Amino acid sequence: MNIVIDTSHLIQFFNLPPDRIFSVFFWNFGWLILAFIFMGGVRSLYLDYMNGLWIQTHKSILLAIDIPTGNEQSPKAVENMFTYLAGAQGSVNFFEKWFEGKFQKSLSVEIVSLEGYTQFLIHTPAEFRNLVESAVYSQYPDAEISEVDDYVNAVPIKVPDEEYDIWGTEFVQVKPSAYPIKCYEEFEHKMGASETQFKDPIASLMDLCGSLRQGEYLWFQIVIIPTGFDWIKDSEKEINKLIGKKEKVKPSLMTQGLEVLGDASEIFYPIWTELEAPKEAKAKSMMELTPGEKKKVESIHLKASKIGFGAKIRVVYIAKKEVMNKVKVANGLVGYMKQFAALDLNNLKPDVGKTFTKTVYFFRESRLNTKKRNILAAYSRRSSSRGAPAGIFNIEELATLWHFPVEANVKAAMVQKAPGRKASAPAELPLAEERKASIPDIFSEEPVSRASFENDILNSSEKGDSTAMPVDLTDKKTAPPTNLPFI
């Protein structure tokens, strides 16, 4: 049986002018490309819709964290907290993902400054509350944790408006996530033979937060997504690139076809594999690496040796237009992030392409307002998907970026703190009934809340009472906003 192949149409096609070749090809096969793009969009919309339905059936809460005055613990304590929070990781199978809309829930660690009063918070799904509290109490036994209302609800949904304006961005890694940023241990300085001083990098952020005036609000957020250990494979690939080690590749279709021929392939196989296989360079040993390459390999190994999270870093600054100072806040935040730049490894920069609230060229105002509302919506929802893709940060990096100030190094008078250390009552203390009988006036008084206690101190200071406790009244700040959590 003879098979005749008509190649005349193919010859005619390639004899066409280049522009005609493209138009003919697109007319006959371009619909396939458009179909793939359309199906990808439908897939994404469907998954977002199912995720939205699933998450509506779950509740999230916001916890205010107050640590005792005089904190001396380094960021290592917060690093241990993140280790414990990794227990929030769960597994999602194919059916749960595509038919129920289930996905890995995330948490958000936050620092907010409301008109200069600073608070540390953790936003978490309700079912992780015990996990979060255990993580905090395990490292800070005298901390106080309270559930509070969400501060984002105090801001108009449609910002900017006639009264308020907004600036915001996400910070992204400049290099692949395998490379670490500068971590807190590198901020320790030798003061002598045995003394080491820690220069807390969060001091600059606390100073910026404390400098805000009435009508200014600064929100700093790191959304952390518990993840597995697949990201370590990317670290291994980066190391292989540095040392010149070639990865194993699958055999080509031609090679697989020759293997099918069996004994007959012995004639062609040596020739083909000689042509196909590139000349492999020998991998470098650690002794052959330059100092820079050696440092990169060791740093990538060190990062991969600790637990990692997917993470998104967001910042939002909202203020009344008459007091807004974008230059001060934007420069201050960029300066805070630049502290963690290891130029030969990794550093953080504003995501100018997608989320940074700045536009150029066409339709600038409308596009700028859209960007502002998008960053506010992403922040308010603690979204793990909006904006730039999440990077991988290990627990040491996260603790460097977000930790409670070491009070010996950070003078942050406006940071909310727990009132003092708790202790159990002595065994020989008289029973309440005995005390009540002997000193009835003490027990007849109503307990004083911490909020009223702070207000009494503030009022007495304004009246010139020399016996009152000193209160920071920089820029003539009034009492803290009502939505600032007090224990």
Domain assignment present for residue 32? The answer is no
The domain in which residue 262 lies consists of 245-291
Residues 6+ away with beta carbon under 8 Å from 77: 139, 140, 403, 404
Q: Give the list of residues 6+ apart from residue 472 with CB closer than 8 angstroms, or none.
A: 413, 414
Domain-terminating residue out of 346, 380, 401 = 401
Q: How confident is the model at residue 135 (pLDDT cuts 50, 70, 90)?
A: very high
Which pLDDT band holds residue 289 (cuts at 50, 70, 90)? Answer: confident
User: 45: pLDDT confidence band, cut at 50, 70 and 90?
Assistant: confident
Do 269 and 346 share a domain, yes or no? Answer: no
Residue at 351 is within a domain:
yes
Q: What digits encode the pLDDT tens for the residues 23-35?
A: 666 666 666 777 7
Into how many domains does the chain fold?
3
Can you list the alpha helix ranges (DSSP code H) found in 340-424? 364-380, 395-401
In a domain, 107, yes or no: yes
Average pLDDT over residues 10-29: 62
Domain finish residue from 401, 420, 451:
401
User: What is d(CA 10, CA 326) in angstroms, rounded to the nearest whole number?
Assistant: 62
d(CA 348, CA 391): 11
Q: Which residues contact 17 (CB under 8 A, 6 or more apart)?
A: none
Question: Do both 307 and 336 map to the same domain?
Answer: yes
Same domain, yes or no: 167 and 217? yes
- Whether 334 maps to a domain, the answer reads yes
CB atoms within 10 A of CB 319: 23
How far apart CA 352 and CA 341 sit, in angstroms, is 18
Residues 269 and 190 in one domain: no
Match 């992030």 to its residue by tokens: 337
Torsion of CA 358, 362, 368, 373, to 10 degrees: -130
Separation CA 124–CA 127 (nearest Å): 8
Asked if 119 and 218 sit in the same domain, the reply is: yes
Q: Is 105 domain-assigned? A: yes
What is the average per-residue pLDDT within 426-438? 49
CA distance 289 to 127: 49
Helices 76-85 and 129-139 meet at what angle, rounded to 10?
A: 150
Instruction: Give the contacts of 108 (CB within 8 A, at least 6 positions apart).
Output: 122, 123, 124, 221, 222, 223, 224, 382
Q: 191 with 318, same domain?
A: yes
27: in domain: no
Q: Are residues 125 and 159 part of one domain? A: yes
Rounded to whole angstroms, the Cα distance separating 144 from 418 reads 6
> Do 107 and 205 fall within a single domain?
yes
Is there a single domain that holds both residue 373 and residue 226? Answer: yes
Tokens 């660690």 appear where? 109
Q: Is there a single domain that holds both residue 82 and residue 177?
A: yes
In a domain, 482, yes or no: no
Last residue of a domain, one of 401, 418, 452: 401
Do residues 329 and 393 both lie within one domain? yes
Instruction: With respect to residue 18, please indicate whether it lies within any of the assigned structural domains.
Output: no
Clarify whether residues 77 and 217 are in a common domain: yes
Tens-place pLDDT, residues 303-337: 999 999 999 999 999 999 899 999 999 999 999 99
Per mean pLDDT, which range of 23-27, 53-57, 274-278 is the poorest?
Answer: 274-278
Kindly report the average pLDDT of the chain as a whole number: 77
